[in-house]
Chains A and B, each alone.
Chain A
Amino acid sequence: MDLTYTPAQQAFRVEVREWLRTHVPRESLASYDTREGFEQHKRWEAHLADAGWSSVTWPRELGGRGCDLIEWLIFEEEYWAADAPMRVNQNGILLLGPTLMEFGTPEQKARFLPGTARCDLMWAQGWSEPNAGSDMAAITSRAIRDGDHYVLNGQKTWSTRAVFANWLFGLFRSDPQSSRHNGLTYLMVPLDAPGITIRPIQALNGKQAFAEIFFDEVRVPVANRLGGEGEGWNVAMATAGFERGLLLRSPARYQRTAQKLVQLYQRHRASANRDPSIREAVLRAWMGAEAYTLASYHTVCRVQQGARIGAEASTNKIFWSELDLEMHETAMRILGPRAELRDDPEVHDWLEGFLFAQAGSIYAGSNEIQRNIIAERLLGLPKS
């Protein structure tokens, strides 16, 4: 055990910090859940990509920087410390990218990865359906083979920022006789294909944060299939593993929130201390963010020595989603009656974050599903 950074790691941190110091926009961008904000964030991503910062863990030849996971943690720490813009193409960079690298053909990698790194390809996810939420294996949207195409019919929903995205990856039932996780195929679908209708869903914050997608005789080339026909479940599970696991929620995000919460508390200490439980909640926020960071470093170091992340990723998902809720609830309590004033500059980000935190225990596999996974796969308890 050696809890110090190597000179190379320290130098990398300085390099990231310097670049961000001179490039992060001074004015914060509009919300990426709006058309205007989405385009602003896309331009920022292209800017990151030009400098090689958009997908630091990807190999250099695919538009990345070839960083190891410790460097990724360092990059994220500097990124969040600099209050740089939110990352609008995480679906592509963190979820699809690694899946493509694992399952994609050389042609697919060449076709999709560089554009994803540059954010010319902006990805939406196509998992959930009206009757397939926590029970994802209940998917009924079909992709029936017709020569060198699949013909898609059905409906996907809760697809984040699909109104603004131009591509989708997701699961479709290619064998109509199949059930559950058999007979599913993983496809990459251009959202401008004829027969696709996208209908925005207004989220809690009033913005078009996600959408329903309807497929009516949509023709998708077989070349857009990732992995084998009928093997989509395993390919998708790899994506779900990345999402729940290390990458989706970097610890620096919560450390930054905890730090801001401490600062908020310090600015309003007198009024906050009228409720003695607030000080404790602020401390707990810091403790939780640190614990999540330490667990990430611990996991990253084990992964770099050859360990695989398995069902323990489910503990991560529960931890960060509950931490995020607790931190934002605490901020609301500190802000008191002002907390509802959405245009108040001190309130705005906390309020938006508070609303978004409500979703954390639901998306990426509900926390109840995660607890089942922990009990059945880590503890070996029998299925119900």
Chain B
Amino acid sequence: MDFTFNEDQLALRDSVGRFLMVEAAPEKLREIWQTDAGRSPALRAKIAEQGLTALSVPQEHGGLGFGDVDWSLMTQELGYFAIPDSLADTAYISAAFLTALPEGHALRNEWLPRIADGSCRIAIGHPVNPWVGDVQMADLVLLPADTPDGLSWHALGPEQVSVEVLPSIDASRRLSNVRWTPGAATCIAEGACARALADETLDRATVNTAGQLVGLAQRMLDLSVDYAAQRKQFGKPIGSFQAVKHHLADVVTKIEFAKPVLYRAAWAVAHEHPQRAVRASHAKLVAAEAAWTAARKAIQVHGAMGYTWEVDLQMFMKRAWVLDAAWGDRAFHKARMAQALLSDGAPLGPGATF
């Protein structure tokens, strides 16, 4: 039993954090998000230089072969710095999806090395999501088709899909309604294999979203602490008032008790634990609660400044608000947990934690 990260994992997390603090500062992100594409090839190239796009790719395809547990630290950094969906969707979710295809599958050999070197973007859909993110700039689009014959997965080039853009309140998002036609030529997985891919991808993406929500909560807390220490009323920093302190202490507690849940879920995904789905849903629910609480308390502490476009808090609040319903809304995850836990013989109680 060792429920900690090793020094290498923590050092990588710290170095990624330092890199993003400089390269993905809020003013830079605002500029990028104002463009139609909303993405910066230059920033992606720098991120690839740091090795971030290669994390999940197996070593034989030019990657680092890291797993979900490493990513549970990394996704918190992505959330903390409000890095748009495309990076994790490509380098984490799609990389793992392609790696799960049978050995020697043409798609693996073609795309995994390109993910590793940062020269592609991949968009991935899922039956649980009504829209698909980041399709416009994608070099490859992975989409499920739910037909009477069952679920199948398809790989499409940008020329094989047409998109209707759906602007989001979160300026970082690039959502679209995708029109396309499944066919034998596009199909990459069917039957039980396709179902397993969908399930595994859902749980992984759920944990990915949870990690980002925890990171977002931490960022909103940090912004609020800075603001409360500087802003003075009645001749004192507002952070010296107990009502303000208690708002922020509540956020600390939510974050502290969301993190270990996130880490167990990441481990469950990495090790195909029988309780993987429940653990992933649990992580997403507590992370969303932490992030929404952080947003609510942060805007209160910021006062009217928090309601402005100008103050950066809005960037993080909006991401927290929209990620709550991404990869399964709360109703979906609660229903999944209720089904598993409130049935007879569910593994509950002391000793059933791992």
Contacts and interface: CB of A to CB of B under 8 A. Distances in A.
Interface of A: 1-6, 9, 13, 70, 74, 76-78, 80-81, 251-252, 255-256, 258-259, 262, 265-266, 279-280, 282-283, 286-288, 290-295, 297-298, 300-302, 305, 312, 314-315, 318-319, 368, 370-372, 374-376, 378-384
B180 interface: no
A302 to B, nearest CB: 6
Given A318-B253, A374-B252, A381 B240 contact: yes
B248 interface: yes
Nearest to B273: A3
A3 B1 contact: yes
B351 A297 contact: no
A287 B286 contact: yes
Contacts of B91: none
Interface string B202-222: 000000000000000000010
A94 to B, nearest CB: 18
A314 B256 CA distance: 11
Q: Which of A74, A302, A315, A383 is most buried by chain B, counting CB atoms within 10 A of its CB?
A: A315
A256 B349 contact: yes
A320 B113 CA distance: 48
Given A255-B348, A384-B240, 13 more contacts: A1-B5, A6-B1, A76-B350, A256-B350, A262-B348, A287-B285, A291-B260, A291-B261, A294-B263, A295-B257, A319-B253, A374-B248, A379-B248
Contacts of A77: 350-351
Interface stretch (B75-83, B189-197, B336-344): B336-344
Interface in B309-354: 334, 337-338, 341-342, 344, 346, 348-354
A283 B245 contact: no
B292 interface: no
Nearest to A318: B253
Given A5-B1, A301-B2, A379-B248, A295 B342 contact: no
B25 interface: no
| 7 pairs of A and B residues whose beta carbons are closest in the complex | A375-B245, A294-B260, A259-B349, A77-B350, A371-B249, A252-B350, A374-B249
A1 B263 contact: yes
Interface of B: 1-6, 69, 221, 225, 228-229, 236-237, 239-242, 244-246, 248-250, 252-253, 256-261, 263-264, 267, 271, 282, 285-286, 334, 337-338, 341-342, 344, 346, 348-354
B246 A375 contact: yes
- Which of B229, B242, B250, B257 gathers most chain A CB within 10 Å? B257
A251 B244 CA distance: 30
Nearest to B265: A294
A4 B1 contact: yes
Given A3-B264, A283-B338, A298-B259, A379 B3 contact: no
B264 A294 contact: yes
Contacts of A294: 3, 260-261, 263-264, 353
Contacts of A384: 236, 240-242, 245
B321 to A, nearest CB: 21
Contact of B1 (A70, A256, A295, A379): A70
A143 B351 CA distance: 47
Contact of A1 (B3, B229, B241, B352): B3
Contacts of B286: 287, 291
Contacts of B229: 380-382
B334 A280 contact: yes
24 contacts: A6-B1, A81-B350, A81-B351, A251-B350, A255-B348, A258-B348, A259-B350, A265-B342, A280-B334, A286-B337, A287-B261, A292-B257, A294-B3, A294-B261, A295-B257, A298-B3, A370-B249, A371-B245, A375-B249, A379-B221, A379-B245, A379-B252, A381-B225, A382-B236
A24 B258 CA distance: 35
A266 B225 contact: no
Given A290-B282, A315-B257, A380-B229, A298 B246 contact: no
A376 B4 contact: no
Most buried by A among B3, B264, B346: B3
Given A287-B282, A291-B260, A380 B225 contact: yes
A178 B211 CA distance: 50
A239 B248 CA distance: 26
Contacts of B353: 255, 290, 293-294, 297
Task: Name, among B256, B341, B346, B354, the residue most crowded by chain A CB atoms within 10 Å (CB to CB).
Answer: B256
B151 to A, nearest CB: 28
A251 B350 CA distance: 8
B334 A9 contact: no
A312 B256 contact: yes
A244 B257 CA distance: 16
B58 to A, nearest CB: 20
B258 to A, nearest CB: 7
Q: Which of A259, A291, A312, A378 has the most CB of B within 10 A?
A: A291
Contacts of A259: 348-350
A45 to B, nearest CB: 20
Residue from A4, A70, A293, A305 having most chain B Cβ neighbours under 10 A:
A293
